[in-house]
Chains A and B, each alone.
Chain A
Amino acid sequence: MWTGDIMTEIPNGYELIVFILKFIEIYDPINNVFKSFGLEYLLRIIIVLVEIAVLFVFILLTVMFLTWMERKVVAMVQARYGPMVTGPRGLLQPVMDGVKLIGKEDIIPAKADRWVFTLAPFLIFIPALLVFIPLPFGPSLIISDLNVGLLYIIAVSAISPIAILMAGWASNNKYSLMGAIRAVAQDISYTIPLALAAIAVVLLTGSLSTVEIVSAQSGTWFGFIPKWFIFLQPLGFILFLIASIAEMGRIPFDFQESESELVAGFFTEYSGMKFAMFFLAEYAHLFSVSAIVVTLFLGGWSIPFLNLIPVSLAVLVPLISLGVFLVKTYAIIFFAMWLRDTVPRMRIDQLLNIGWKIMIPLALLNLLATAILLTAGVF
């Protein structure tokens, strides 16, 4: 793996911004101005806010692109064109959708619990963004390298069932409540195999930090097979992928909003900007979950051949690794969309049967096998 100076010098995005500011020689003058007022902490806060703004804009753009991509992939499978009119090949369609949704009336049902109803879209949207904090997009493209990164990711993504339940309960609508109950049952039963499959990776790495998980996957076996955990944990990868698709609530497992049964599930009563929040959260969740799969099993931003880059082009390493990370993430996203267009929805009893009777025993078996092989010193 490429182990240049930048990676060791710059642990996170904050330091990267400071490095860039120092590189164009404006960090010290700015810092002096703030120092003269005794407000150094203000500069730090501003840099963190800039960092968050960049992440936020990036996620929103990605989410908008994903809605377009989803429609295009469905269209390709169904031998249609998909959106074509707005912008080149319909690329500006999400913008038009957003404008339309902002212009819609914001309806709160008369018998709804107003506060909970209003709070739920925000509560589902914020965890979808918070998940990205410990995710490494590149050697230094990470907001914060937490020691408990993976635990943090699983914990934060466990907030979303609460928001779904809030939305379903506050709507005072039988379909919403039914969708919310299903979503919670599904999320709870699939978080367990998800976490168990992730624990097997943690056993191999010996760390919960996402950066260390990625760096443990650098290098190759026999010079050509990359040391990704998908080759050490094929069963774990499949379980994690299925469980994360169930967590996302996408088509083979989309019981929370199964159109033919529950109108639109837990967001039946939502309109306008609040509906858009649920919509964006769904796609942000898709992106974050795919990024987690890539981080845990597909080597994150690392590729075996990144060390061939000459040292003189070391500045490009964050960009190249960002590209590698996005290519892998989009491959997983494409798989989720592809699966959505192929298979029909399951039955709710089948879903719970698979979750409790098949996935959890297999995940435990996977964990046991990993532990035994690790103790025997095979890995």
Chain B
Amino acid sequence: MTWISKDWAMGGIIKGLIVTLKHVLRVGDRPTVTVQYPYEKMKTQPRFRGLHAVDEDACIGCGICETNCPNSTITIVKHNTRWYPQVNAGMCLFCGICVDVCPMNAMKMTGNYELADYSRESLVYGPDRLLFKKEVKQ
């Protein structure tokens, strides 16, 4: 008599069909969650760890970020008479330790995550591409 205990009304399937129909008809809070990526981008969070940026005036070129970097991504190079970090984004694991250890709070991370490039050399971000000048408050 096992046949009599079977779900002959196909209740499980009908339940599932109702759920998917609700998705199709957008009943309740069921929005489209993906975005049309190259044309529109998802909003990044303020603490998102993307490509680095270095405050040109605050950085003292001490090299603490260089010694603390787990992948040896950062090297200190000379740029316009002063010393600044240079980041190899191809090796960086975006852990953010360099940001944490910076004594002058000069290093920070931007929301830029579109770092794909055509050569390994162009993945090395020198100070000319990393530096930014902080707006001085009057």
Contacts and interface: CB of A to CB of B under 8 A. Distances in A.
A339 interface: yes
A79 B17 contact: no
Interface string A64-95: 00000000010011111100110000000000
B45 interface: no
Contacts, number: 35
B32 A342 contact: no
Contacts of B32: 79-81
B13 A84 contact: no
Given A81-B36, A84-B36, A342 B30 contact: no
B17 A76 contact: no
A162 to B, nearest CB: 32
Contacts of B77: none
A77 B23 contact: yes
Nearest to A84: B36
A73 B23 CA distance: 10
A338 B24 contact: yes
B1 interface: no
Nearest to A78: B23
A79 B31 contact: yes
Interface in B4-36: 13, 16-17, 19-21, 23-24, 30-34, 36
A24 interface: no
B17 A339 contact: yes
B20 to A, nearest CB: 5
A79 B36 contact: no
B34 A343 contact: no
Contacts of A342: 13, 16-17, 19-20
A355 to B, nearest CB: 16
Contacts of B19: 342
Q: How large is the interface on A (under 10, 10 to 19, 20 to 34, 35 or more residues)?
A: 10 to 19
Contacts of A73: 24
Contacts of A81: 32, 34, 36
A81 B38 CA distance: 14
A341 interface: yes
Contacts of B24: 73, 76-77, 338
Nearest to A334: B24
Interface string A184-199: 0000000000000000
Nearest to A72: B24
B29 to A, nearest CB: 11
A79 B24 CA distance: 8
Contact of B20 (A77, A80, A85): A77
Contacts of A77: 20, 23-24
A369 to B, nearest CB: 17
A343 B36 contact: no
A80 B36 CA distance: 10
Given A76-B23, A77-B23, A77-B24, A338 B17 contact: yes
A85 B21 CA distance: 25
A80 B16 contact: no
Contacts of B20: 77, 338, 341-342
Closest 4 CB pairs of A and B: A342-B16, A342-B20, A76-B24, A77-B20
Given A85-B36, A342-B19, 5 more contacts: A73-B24, A79-B32, A80-B34, A81-B36, A338-B17
Interface of B: 13, 16-17, 19-21, 23-24, 30-34, 36
Interface of A: 73, 76-81, 84-85, 338-339, 341-343
10 contacts: A76-B23, A76-B24, A79-B30, A80-B33, A81-B36, A84-B36, A338-B20, A338-B21, A342-B19, A343-B13
